[in-house]
Structures are given as C-alpha cells and as structure tokens.
Structure 1
Amino acid sequence: MRISGLATGMDTESIIRDMMTAHRLPLDKITQRKQYLEWQLDDYRSINRDLKSMSDNLFDTVMRQGTYLAKQVNISNENAVNIRSLSATSEFAGTLSIEKLATAATLHSAEGITLEGEHTVNSTLQELGIVGSEITIQAPGAETVTLTFDPAKDTLTTVLSRINKEANVTAFYDSFTGKIAMTSKNSGTGEIGVSGDLGTALKLTNGTKTEGQNAQFTFNGLETERTSNTFQINGFEITLKEVSEAPITFSSSPDTDKVLESVVKFVDDYNKLIEELNAKIKEPRYRDFQPLSDEQKAEMKEKEIELWEEKAMSGTLRNDSTIQSLLQRMRTALNGAVGTTDPKLRLSDIGITPSKNYLDNGKLVIDEDKLRQVISENPNKVYEVLGKSGENEEDRGLVGRLRTAIDDTRKVITARAGNAGAVNDTFTLGRTLKQMDSQIERFQTRMQQVEDRYWKQFTRMEMAIQRANAQSAQLMSAFGGMM
C-alpha cells in the first residue's frame, strides 16, 4: 500500500522519482555502453557483408580464367551459322559450307483414334476400346524404353505424358486428325521404332515414318557430319541455321571491351571498399554524445533525436586494428609481383598503378589505353597478373592474395561480432552483451528494492504523521470540551 502525501501534502512520487534518478546513473551508463556495443556490432557485420560480397565477386570474375577468354567472332553470313566462344584458349578462323541440317526422326500413327460421345483424351484406354498395356519405343541416339500401363486406369493423356517424360520422344494427340505424332528428342540419322500391344492398338507400329538425318558440312576443307546442328570445336560453340554451300568465312579475336569491363569493375569495387574502410577507421568519436535513454528521447523532437544519434553512433570502428591490418595487407598484396623468374609481372605491366595522391589511401588508377592494348595483344597476361592460381605465393595472381587477406579478416570479425542469427555465446561481443544483460537485470532488481524501501519509509512517515494529527485533533477536542 502506497500513501502519497495525504498527511504531509508532499509530492512523494516526484521526490522518490528524483531520488531514484541519482541511483540509476550507474545503470544508465551500463545501458549506454550496451547500446554503443550493439552499434559497433552492427558496423562490424556490415563491413563483413561487404567483404564477403567483394570476395565472392573476385572469385566469380577476375579470378576465373574464362573471364579473360571472352572472344568476339566475325561471321560473313550470320543467317546461316552462329559461332560463340565457350572456353576457347586460342583464336579460331576459317571457312564453313553447310550441305544439310540435322533433322529429327518423326512417326505418325497409321489411323486416327475416334473420340465418340462423351469420351475424351481423359477417358481410360478401356473406355476408348484401346486394348493393350505395353509399348516399347526406340528413338535415335537413345536407349530402348518399355512402358507398362493399366488400361482400366490410364488415359490417353497419362500415356502420352509418360512417353514424353521417359521415352526420349515428344508425342501429342492431334484432335483434328485423331492421330498420335512423335518426334525424336535427338536429331541425327535413324528412325523411331514402336512395338508392343499398346503400340499396335495406338496404330503406331505401322505408322508413317520420316528418318532423321545428320548435319553435313565442310569445315576448313574437311567434309564431316554431326548428329546435332549445335556442336563444339576447340572451345567454340557452332550452331548451323541454314544450308549454305557457298563458303562462310569466320574469325575470332579477344573481346577487349568485355575483358576491360571486368577489370575496371574490379578496380572500382576495390577503390570503393578502400574508401569505405578508411572512412570507418577515421570516423570521429563524439564522447559528449552518449546514447539516449527512453526518458531523454521523450523530451526531444524527432529531428533532435536523429541529429544526436548521428553523432552518438559515429566512431564505433575508429582506429580499429583489424581493419587497419586488412588495409595494409590489401596494399601489400596488390603491390607484389607474380612469378619466380625475371621479369616478374606487376599491376603496372597491365596499366594499373596506385594513386599518387596520398589522400586516396592506396586506391588504384587505370591507364585504359595501356590495359586495352595488353588485352588485345595477350589477354592471358592480364589473367596471370590478377587471377592466376598456384600452389606457391609467388605463382599466385595478385587478386588471389587479396582475397586471402579479405577472407582471413572476415574470420577475425566473425569471431568478434558473429553473423546474423548467431547465438551470443559464440562470439566475443555477444558474450559481453550477454554479461551486460545480466548486470542490467541485477541492477534493475536492486533499484526496485530501493524504490520499494523508499515507498515504505514515506508510507510509514505518512501514517505516523496521520496518527499524530489524529491525536492532536483528539486533544483539541478534549480541551475544547472542558472550556
């Protein structure tokens, strides 16, 4: 029971609140420290996400040899043939004549299936009068497949569906003619063969057949064939599109623009990361702007809170040793040389150098003319400098060394700040925050006990004064009665 100023007229609630404010100062400091660590945790994780994105992009682009093998192919008749590089390591040129295109074998049932009355393609085979349960299909370039059905349960739709799925042919029912048509999924010489009692019932065993044929062409004077119109030669994919007995000329060359685009993107991403990391370790720390409590926020305007917290959140990673070490390792990695024999290859050999402006903190600058020339003359040289793999450090490309530095740092940050969803016990800052939660909980319990004690003390004082007032009133009444 709490009695607030009934006898004394004092604002007991305000008095106790002011007294508790002084007691809560240590708790406020712990809460502020916890909030600051949570901001620091968020910043660490944000940096770690950016580092992971950078690491993944490096692996998927400039560390892949295929990035530097991009080629453009000039063709004299693009209507007849398409040629593109898949994994070619050398140039490709010559002539091509196309005598025949590859075609797929076809088969049409000899007679149509009549759907009378209420019967449809979803009626059972038994309802349609189709007697048979087994069909065997042999298609060019594929294994023979035998399928078994239940005429009392299976329909024309389910039969065709299984054939399409399992038999290396594409089959459909033509509602106009009532016939079933099949086309081999593989082109090339051969025909479709059908047997079995269900094949006979569907009029396919004696149906009309068209044999498939191979593509026939002359490549640089060599007369040859392929079962498909699309095939590969020396890492180039060739797609024949129409007959052209007149020789078609073709030649390949490095796709300079595409390779250049990949290298420029790498440099841009690197410079952006350098700028972000340096901004974090140089961000000012405003110690006079501590995290706001809920009571303080209640007394401020929204814009005031925003401006205050902008300064309070600043500097969480100022002079962070892990990030400083990463920046140094990144610069060292890209300033190195590749190879064990002279002359060793460096970034400058492909037109990339560190900025001479010390304010750029080691950003890279590209001489696009020189880089373009190197790509045009020898794209593999760019690969050797940047992405080359190797067991020894000297043999590895500079980007591989850069990625190692990034991945090592990510492990350190993860051990300190964890990942999203990680349990607090599994990383350093999480354990500290957990200890703070326990400390705050104990402090709040003590504060509640102190506040309860104050209320009890004030309540007893109120009750004592109330009794004194009652006794005084009784005395006044007694003395009044004697007069």
Structure 2
Amino acid sequence: MASSMRIGGLASGMDIDTIVSDLMKAERVPLDKLTQKKQYLEWQRDDFREINKMMLSLDTMIFEDLILSDTYNQKTVSISDSNEVAIKNVSSASDFSGTINVKKLATAAMIVKSNTGVTDSSKKISDIFSNLAIPHEITVQAIKKDGTLDDGFKISFNPVEETLESLIAKINEQTGVTMFFDTKTGGLSVSAKNTGDVAGTDEIVLSGDLFTKLGLDTATKTAGVNAEFTYNGITTTRSSNTFTINGFEISLKNANNKDVTFSSTADVDKITEKIVKFVDEYNKLIEKLNTELNEKKYRDYQPLTSEQKEAMEEKEIELWEEKARSGTLRNDSALSSALNKMRTDFYSPISGISGLSQLAEIGITTTANYMDGGKLTIDEKKLKEAIANDPNAVRQLFAKEGTETGDKGIARRLRDTLKSTMDTIEQKAGKATSVNTTFSLGRNLDSIEDQIDRFQERLIQIEDRYWRQFTAMEKAIQQANTQSAYITQQFSM
C-alpha cells in the first residue's frame, strides 16, 4: 500500500514526526502485548523441552544401568596363578569357581615355502608366471573360530593387472589366513587366523594354479593344535585358547600342567556405583520438577519489548527477564502428576517376587527433610550388603518384568511413568524437530504470529491515516497563510 505524500510541520511549526510517533506508541500497545505473550509461550515451550531432555537422559540411564543384566553380572575374579590363565565374567549371573590345569595351548596351522623363486612381489603376476588362465581364480579355506573348516573364499583376478603384492593384500583381507611374502629370501608363509585342529582334514586348504606355481603344494605344513586342559576333573579340548564356559571367559596363557584355582564374587563397588549414579540423577530431576512447580510467577514483570530493551542496561535486562521468565511451569498438572506417580512407583511393593520387594530393604529411602520433595538417600553399607548377599535379587527389585504395574520392578515402573510424561509434554511443547502445528503451544504460537502480522498491517494503515490528516492540516494552514499574506499585501498598497 503506497503512502501519501507527507508534510512535516513546515506550515504549522509543529513536530509532526514526534506527534505521530507518540500516537503510534499508544496504537502499538496491543501489538506489544501480543509480542510479549509470544515470548512467554516460547519460554514455556523451551522449559518443557528442558524437562523432557532430563527425563530422556534418566530413562536412558535406567535402561543401560539398572535393567540390562550386565550391571549386576559384574564380578571380581580371584585366580591362584594369573600367569597361567585369565578369567573374566561375560554373562554369568551366578558366582562361579573351579580348578583348571592346562596341558597344551592351541596353535594355528601354517604352510611355509622357504623359497618360491619369486624375487619381486610388486611385479604383475603375468610377468612372474606367463601361462596362467585369464581370469584366474583361487580358493582359500581355513579353520573358523568354532574349529570347523569354512566353505572357502574365492578370489578372481586378472594376472595381467594384479601384482602378487596386491593379491596377497586381498587374501589377507578377505580370507581366514594371513599370507606373508619375504622380499629378501623369496619365502612365503600362510598361517590360519584361528587356532586349532580340524578333525580329518587340513586347517588350510589352498586351490588354484597360482598356489601350485608358488610351490605351496609341496611346502612344509604344520597342523593346528587344539588346547587341551582339565576343568574340574574333566579333560577336554578347545580349538582356541580363549573360550567361554557357563557364561565366563577363560584365556589360557601357559601349558605348565599346573592346577590353578579360581572363584568369583559380585563386584559390589561397581554395582553400587551404578545405583548411586542413578539416585543422583533421579534427585536432580526431582529437584528440577519441584523448582518449576513451585517457582513464583511475577505478573508485574512481562517480557521486554525491543524498545524497552534499548532503554535498559544489559544487567537490568538480565534481572528483569529472570523474573519475567519465572513460573512458566508453575503448578503444571502433567509435572505434578509425574512427581506423584514417581513417588508411588518407588514405594509400592513389588508383587510376585521372592526376597526383596521394596527399596528400603536395600537402604534406599526418602530424605528426612520433607522440603526435599521426595529426593532419595542411600545407606551405602546396607546397599552393599544386599548386593553381596544376592545381586540377582537386587536386579529383580529394579528390573523384574510384568504385565501390571504392581508386578514390575522399580526401574520398569519409573520408565513407564517417564515415557507417559514425556509423551504428554511433547503433545504440549513438541521437540526441537517438531512443526508448530503438531503440538498445542506451537499452534498457539502460530495463531499469535498471525495476529501480529494482521495487527502490523493495521498499524501501517493507521500511521498512514495520521499522516494524511496532518498533511491535510499543513496544507490548510499553508493555504490560510498564503491568503493572509495576500490580503495584508493588498491593504498595504
């Protein structure tokens, strides 16, 4: 919309710019209120999202540290001679003990050709052996980790384009063997990546004319050997020196035919550390929720407009907005409900469980100060005693599965409450990637933005009207002045 010509007080001597500016300040008051309301809703949205971020972080910690069995399977293993064997827990929920005597260590099969007659592995294979088929194919079979022979890896190549060096690199990358060519002696070795003996056949099987020309069919072969040991009175074998028995991993180091005893106990300190970390994070969330729900709302402190900020110092703006933003989530029903539900989750006994059924039994209770709003405190001595006595019972207390809330462990109940609350908050405030139309505060923000746009268009029209009126006044005064000057001139003749 084009503005009319504006005349700024030349005839009247009035400061029309200032007058119109002051008039527009009054007209702009409703717009300022809309802008302030928009700012407040944006603060509220961001504060909700901060709560959701904390809840998501706690939810992830609960899953990783309190529900997954790895937390409670941590063991301290005592070994009578750690130079002979190494033992660590992998998945055993129960303590274990025993005696192991190592007779033989597992070794890998090997093929060695001391001199292949080749002096330069960087040459094209066709320059080394001129009568190979194009394309040429080789097959490499080798022992697998489970002690059986694999189905074989086929490698097809063009001898005119491939060097022996580049082919060896492919063999090492794609197959179950490691091949080494010695440029000084022309020697070539092939060793299995996995140890052990494949019953009834070789552990390395090479097929293809190239291997024959390299002399590997007549090379020195050393068979793989299985590890042999006695475990709790039973003599047995494994294809590898590292293997798992009953959920714990044994690594054989030496074969000295020596009895080595071992035993495990729950790693109380590490399990305790995980639970203490959870309680600390839970308490941070409880403190945040209580702060937000009880934070005072200062109704006399509205968000500042851009003009107001221009008239204030930076520190004044900071102090003002601290009060203006206070209380955005005060008495919010979703947060109040979550707080009450979490307290219930912690203190309702778990049904269908033997042994432990409440957190108080492992030394976790609420603080004595009611002003803490439901924060937890830990008697670490009692917690450690419970873990040492029965880590599985502690795990069940937190992680027991169930179809009904009363059947579920504390951690699973809490995750359900957190998820429900996060969903409710997301419906209100969305998340960083959400479009405004998908959550309620966003829809309100869009509505206010539309009102702001319409009001700004209206203000342009109002300002233009004021200028038309003052311009008309100036023209009238100018015309009156011209007429007055003419009459005065006539009388003075």
What's the TM-score bracket when you normalise by the shorter of the two chains? over 0.9
Aligned with 1:135 (options 135, 138, 143) = 138
SS in structure 1 of the partner of residue 455 of structure 2 = helix
Code of the residue aligned with 1:106 in structure 2: it is: M
CA deviations over 1:257-292 (Å, ceiling 9, x no partner): 111111111211111111111011111111111101
SS in structure 1 of the partner of residue 50 of structure 2 = helix
More moved, 393-402 vs 256-265:
393-402
What corresponds to 2:444 in structure 1? 432
Aligned with 1:187 (options 163, 170, 195) = 195
Separation in 2, partners of 1:15, 1:173? 94
| Contiguous gaps of at least 5 residues in structure 2 | 144-148
SS in structure 2 of the partner of residue 84 of structure 1 = strand
More moved, 143-152 vs 225-234:
143-152
| Contiguous gaps of at least 5 residues in structure 1 | none
* 1:7, distance to aligned residue in structure 2 (A): 1.5
* 1:161, distance to aligned residue in structure 2 (A): 2.6
SS in structure 1 of the partner of residue 191 of structure 2 = strand
Separation in 2, partners of 1:124, 1:342? 72
What corresponds to 1:455 in structure 2? 467
Aligned with 1:411 (options 423, 427, 447) = 423
What corresponds to 1:45 in structure 2? 49
What corresponds to 2:153 in structure 1? 145
CA contact (8 A) 1:131 1:201 kept: no
CA deviations over 1:335-392 (Å, ceiling 9, x no partner): 1111247877111111212222211111112111111111111111211211111233
**1:347 correspondence with 2:359:** yes
What corresponds to 1:226 in structure 2? 238
Separation in 1, partners of 2:128, 2:305? 80
* 1:110, distance to aligned residue in structure 2 (A): 4.7
Decide whether aligned partners of structure 1 residues 206 and 341 sit closer, same or farther in structure 2, where only a CA change above 3 A counts. Answer: closer
Separation in 1, partners of 2:17, 2:187? 94
Structural RMSD (CA): 1.8
CA contact (8 A) 2:356 2:393 kept: no
Code of the residue aligned with 1:261 in structure 2: it is: E
CA contact (8 A) 1:338 1:385 kept: yes
Code of the residue aligned with 1:17 in structure 2: it is: S
What corresponds to 1:366 in structure 2? 378
What corresponds to 2:124 in structure 1? 124
CA contact (8 A) 1:172 1:182 kept: yes
CA deviations over 1:106-147 (Å, ceiling 9, x no partner): 22335245456xxx62x4222344543222222223222332
Separation in 1, partners of 2:439, 2:309? 31
Separation in 1, partners of 2:130, 2:167? 12
Code of the residue aligned with 1:421 in structure 2: it is: T
Decide whether aligned partners of structure 1 residues 291 and 106 sit closer, same or farther in structure 2, where only a CA change above 3 A counts. Answer: same
Code of the residue aligned with 2:314 in structure 1: it is: E
CA contact (8 A) 1:110 1:206 kept: no
Aligned length: 477
TM-score scaled to structure 2, two decimals? 0.93
Decide whether aligned partners of structure 1 residues 474 and 173 sit closer, same or farther in structure 2, where only a CA change above 3 A counts. Answer: farther
More moved, 90-99 vs 290-299:
90-99
What corresponds to 1:61 in structure 2? 65
* 1:181, distance to aligned residue in structure 2 (A): 2.5
Decide whether aligned partners of structure 1 residues 131 and 257 sit closer, same or farther in structure 2, where only a CA change above 3 A counts. Answer: farther
**1:395 correspondence with 2:398:** no
What corresponds to 1:26 in structure 2? 30
More moved, 158-167 vs 427-436:
158-167
**1:268 correspondence with 2:280:** yes
More moved, 139-148 vs 340-349:
340-349
CA deviations over 1:194-247 (Å, ceiling 9, x no partner): 221121233333223222111111111211110011100010011112223121
Code of the residue aligned with 2:167 in structure 1: it is: V
Percentage of matched positions with identical amino acids:
48
**1:283 correspondence with 2:295:** yes
Code of the residue aligned with 1:83 in structure 2: it is: I
What corresponds to 1:237 in structure 2? 249
Code of the residue aligned with 1:229 in structure 2: it is: N
Separation in 1, partners of 2:156, 2:393? 60
Aligned with 1:70 (options 66, 74, 95) = 74
Aligned with 2:111 (options 107, 113, 132) = 107
